[in-house]
Amino acid sequence: MAPIRGIFSLQRAALVQRQRERLGVGFRLFSTQAASNAGTPQPPPPPEKTHFGGLKDEDRIFTNLYGLHEPFLKGAMKRGGWYRTKDLVLKGSDWIVNEVKKSGLQGRGGAGFLSALKFMPKTTDGRPSYLVVNADESEPGTCKDREIMRHDPHKLLEGCLIAGVGMRASAAYIYIRGGYVNE
């Protein structure tokens, strides 16, 4: 039997796929605790509309996490990707680094490293600088970024462009393990 993938930790929905065939989007209908305490499973109360700080559901950054839309350039642009990216790039390295500092943006890794420290241009002896993105996720059970790269890859590319300008990089390299290609 072919392996089955699922996203189970991102909201209350799960997208289940077998190889390239989408089986459907499933929603959690009951909790295991409720099922063990009662004879008939009861559905949970409807989820509340959530927002975190100034962000609402409609302000989501990753707009194609479940792969329901086209992941290519035209699809990304329809969902708002690359909108005003040129304006940000034209503001220059110092502006980008200062905005990232003011935002308090942290990395998605376990250490929560401040992104501004990585963005700041380093002193150089004239050799070129490079932006290197380690997209390996080699920790067991870690696959938090895989679905973003698979279904919303332009978020990664747009971020690389802005970060690269901020740190005055001459090129960007994204390391992706060969196993991703074989999934």
* Per-residue pLDDT, 54: 63
Q: 2 and 68 in one domain? A: no
Core vs surface per residue 12-40: b (16+ CB within 10 A) or e: eebbebeeeeeeeeeeeeeeeeeeeeeee
Range of the domain at 86: 60-180
pLDDT tens by residue, 119-138:
887 787 889 999 998 887 66
Q: 66 and 37 in one domain? A: no
Domain count, the chain: 2
Yes or no: say if 77 and 84 are a contact pair by the CB < 8 Å rule.
no
Residue 53 lies inside a defined structural domain of this protein: no
Residue 129 lies inside a defined structural domain of this protein: yes
pLDDT tens by residue, 73-122:
999 898 888 989 999 999 999 999 999 999 998 876 667 788 888 888 77
The first and second tokens of residue 100, run together, are 């990232």
137 or 62, which is more confident: 62
32 or 147, which is more confident: 147
Q: 176 and 118 in one domain? A: yes
Q: 67 and 2 in one domain? A: no
19 or 57, which is more confident: 57
Residue 141 lies inside a defined structural domain of this protein: yes
Cβ contacts of residue 105 below 8 Å, gap of 6+?
A: 114, 115, 116
Residue 54 lies inside a defined structural domain of this protein: no
**pTM score, two decimals?**
0.64
CATH number of the domain bearing residue 74? 3.40.50.11540
* Per-residue pLDDT, 9: 40
Residue 55 lies inside a defined structural domain of this protein: no
Q: 113 and 138 in one domain? A: yes
Q: 85 and 2 in one domain? A: no
C-alpha distances in angstroms, 1 versus 24, 25, 183? 18, 20, 14
- Report the interhelical angle of 93-103 vs 153-166 (nearest 10°): 110
pLDDT tens by residue, 5-51:
444 444 434 444 555 554 444 444 444 444 445 556 566 666 565 55
pLDDT over 80 at 57, yes or no: no
Residue 17 lies inside a defined structural domain of this protein: yes
Q: 132 and 43 in one domain? A: no
Residue 143 lies inside a defined structural domain of this protein: yes
* Per-residue pLDDT, 63: 79
Q: 153 and 96 in one domain? A: yes
* Per-residue pLDDT, 99: 94
The first and second tokens of residue 151, run together, are 């279904």
Nearest alpha carbon to residue 120 among 99, 141, 134: 99
Nearest alpha carbon to residue 100 among 117, 123, 122, 81: 117
